[in-house]
Structure 1
Amino acid sequence: MPASARRPFRRPTHIPPTDYDVVVIGAGCAGLSAALVLGRCRRRVLLCDGGKTRNAPSPAVHNFLSRDGIKPQELLQQGREQLSAYPSVELRESCVMQAERDEATGTFRITLDTGGCVTSRKVILATGVMDVLPPIDGMRELWGVGVLHCPYCHGYEVSDKPLAVYGRGKSVAGFALLISRWSKDVVVCTDGTAGLADHSRQRLKRHGIPVYEQQIARLVGRNNGELHSIEFADGTTLERAALFLHPEQQQRTDLAEQLGCYRLARSGGIRVDKRIQTSVPGVYAAGDTTPAAQQAVVAAAEGVQAGISCNEQLTREECA
């Protein structure tokens, strides 16, 4: 029987009526993947795209099998185009301002910034995080090219170049030792007192990684966004090709908090179980918004898992 002749799915009478089966909030790799799975399950899906993704400043996505080196926006555009083959999936350029769960029915009411509300049986949070960079001149301007966060994403491109690692305490020592896998010319810049234990200092010294504790005045970049040098407050400079750091992060939205999802205190990530469901029934989370490794391919995989879990739970409810 051709697709056009198939009888539409009829909702069982015991299922509360809603505008959509699932609202997916966030249209990065996680959200697009979740919507793709659900579209192929013939679910009524609203995918809300709130704007640029976290990796937008990066020149390329890496470690994504068959897409290694693709530009972030090109990858997302391909995903959006592929979703157009599934008529039950609707994409809106909208930010979700509020989400609330009806405890009586277990359904959700979603308020959009473009006006109006929609209802849904399930919600997938794929809103991601924001990086909170240190307030140093040049840090934000060079972010994604000369200032980097992930050696697995960007280390290969700066192999064997002079590199710096920014941070303090035990974590920066471990990070610098990791970066030394890509280059033997690595320094630690602590922008003030390092807070390093003797053991950490000895480890760095043993591997030839010096520690600069001067205050950083600014980062000097090249026209292409690469780092040229680090200028310290005492007037000295240090030529480096890139600087790595683990910035603080915060959730891009407070929707998880509105819905009452349990968050991990240390990372701020949304806790999920093996089905990618949060502590709130019917709410799933995928991508950088969870504590998983922050890689595009991992976000896509979590999105797939969230889509499958949603569909299977919806089916169980319909076939009760």
Structure 2
Amino acid sequence: MDENLETTYDVLVIGGGAAGLSGALTLARARWKVAVIDAGEPRNAPAAGVHGLLGREGVSPAELVATGRDEVRSYGGRVVDGRVAQVVRDDGGTHPFAVTLDDGRVTRARRLLVATGLVDELPDVPGLAEHWGRDVVHCPFCHGYEVRDQRIGVLASGPQGTHQALLFSQWSDQVVLLAHTAPDLSPDDAAKLAARGVTVVAGKVREVTARDGRLTGVVLADGTAVPLDAVAVATTMRARTDVVRQLGLEVAPHPSGQGEHVVADATGRTSVGGVWVAGNATNLAAQVSTAAAEGTWAAAQLTFDLIEEDATAATAG
């Protein structure tokens, strides 16, 4: 259900995933006028279920979003389907942020909460993307149980491959580290992998194979076939920043070395006054539960800020 976009809001939330909807729910319950603008491109859409979310274990991503939208609306918040094309901070008085959607609709807000999430860039291996979120996974805490006791190949495209293989060995004793394009193992890393029963397979991976829609393994550059049931990868994670860069938000490499994120302090406050960020746009490692908590926390900080502004204005002069 799409909703009309009104001319002004206290807070406009850009992005309607776990972080954005949780933030909007908290703001609506705090009796602020709030709207969520959502382009409908959730990162976890290919996954069958959300895991590690207390009370909602295994819920489908689509159901979780639908329920969240209804909860926001139940407290008077708006959820608007659309894509933000432009964000400008001008001298608009009490509502300095002008937001234009790609269909031409325009609204203004006192504050912004950016919850646009991130995009996963997969290693360039034919056949990998087709299985993303099902037989090709990245997070053992999100998907490890679903591939437990299976033949898991960890595609090493960097030094983090060893760490990932060690983690997945908790869920299966049939883990192989596909050396692919990673640097040579140090003696210490090789010893740790051996201690955990992880086999190292040398050679670059040429392609992923499948039968009847299910991953069956990989083929190396020399033609060697490695039978597998699942492949774990380390993606390059990049915050969706096409729009927020217009505001001059600071975007920097993430300390993990796995991509780029929007820089913010512990409260979600960015380098641009009046703009907060929550979820995967700033915390690349955030799972759904973490992203939701960060959205709630940022909404609380926004409430403090808005009340302070209103109180100061009321007592001025």
Report the TM-score, using the length of structure 2 for normalisation: 0.89
1:244 pairs with one of 232, 236, 249 = 232
Q: What is the identity percentage for the equivalent residue pairs of Structure 1 and Structure 2?
A: 38
Q: Evaluate the alpha carbon distance shift between residue 308 and residue 226 of structure 1 in structure 2; reply closer, same or farther with a 3 A threshold.
A: farther
CA distance in 2, matches of 1:269, 1:93: 24
> Matches of residues 13-32 of structure 1 in structure 2 within 5 Å?
19-32=8-21
DSSP-derived class of the 1:319 partner? helix
The answer for unaligned runs of 5 or more in structure 2 is 1-6, 313-317
1:160 touches 1:182 (CA, 8 Å); kept in 2?
Answer: yes
Structure that is richer in strand per residue: 2
Give the aligned partner of residue 232 of structure 1: 220
1:166 pairs with one of 149, 155, 161 = 155
1:173 touches 1:200 (CA, 8 Å); kept in 2?
Answer: yes
1:226 touches 1:242 (CA, 8 Å); kept in 2?
Answer: no
Q: Evaluate the alpha carbon distance shift between residue 306 and residue 203 of structure 1 in structure 2; reply closer, same or farther with a 3 A threshold.
A: same
> Matches of residues 132-143 of structure 1 in structure 2 within 5 Å?
132-143=121-132
1:165 touches 1:175 (CA, 8 Å); kept in 2?
Answer: yes
Shift of 1:103: 6.2
Matched, 1:115 2:104: yes
1:170 touches 1:197 (CA, 8 Å); kept in 2?
Answer: no
Question: Any runs of at least 4 consecutive aligned residues in structure 1 with deviations exceeding 4 A, and if so which?
Answer: 103-106
The one-letter code matched in structure 2 to 1:20 is Y
CA distance in 2, matches of 1:288, 1:226: 29
2:67 pairs with one of 54, 78, 89 = 78
Matched, 1:276 2:268: yes
2:122 touches 2:233 (CA, 8 Å); kept in 1?
Answer: no
The answer for unaligned runs of 5 or more in structure 1 is 1-17
Matched, 1:289 2:281: yes
1:62 pairs with one of 31, 39, 51 = 51
Give the aligned partner of residue 99 of structure 1: 87
CA distance in 2, matches of 1:232, 1:264: 35
Give the aligned partner of residue 185 of structure 1: 174
Give the aligned partner of residue 291 of structure 2: 299
Shift of 1:264: 3.0
Q: Considering only aligned residues, what root-mean-square deviation do their CA atoms show, in Å? A: 1.8
Shift of 1:38: 1.1
CA distance in 2, matches of 1:292, 1:253: 13
The one-letter code matched in structure 2 to 1:196 is L
CA distance in 2, matches of 1:60, 1:144: 10
Give the aligned partner of residue 315 of structure 1: 307
Measured against aligned partners, the alpha-carbon deviations of 1:29-84 in whole angstroms (never above 9, x if no partner) come to: 11111111111122111210111200000001001000001111011111112222
Shift of 1:196: 2.5
CA distance in 1, matches of 2:190, 2:251: 34
2:24 touches 2:299 (CA, 8 Å); kept in 1?
Answer: yes
Give the aligned partner of residue 35 of structure 2: 46
Shift of 1:90: 1.8
1:271 touches 1:291 (CA, 8 Å); kept in 2?
Answer: no
The one-letter code matched in structure 1 to 2:266 is K
1:194 touches 1:213 (CA, 8 Å); kept in 2?
Answer: no
The one-letter code matched in structure 2 to 1:74 is E
Q: Evaluate the alpha carbon distance shift between residue 226 and residue 306 of structure 1 in structure 2; reply closer, same or farther with a 3 A threshold.
A: farther
Deviates more, 1:116-125 or 1:256-265: 256-265
Shift of 1:137: 1.6
Report the TM-score, using the length of structure 1 for normalisation: 0.88
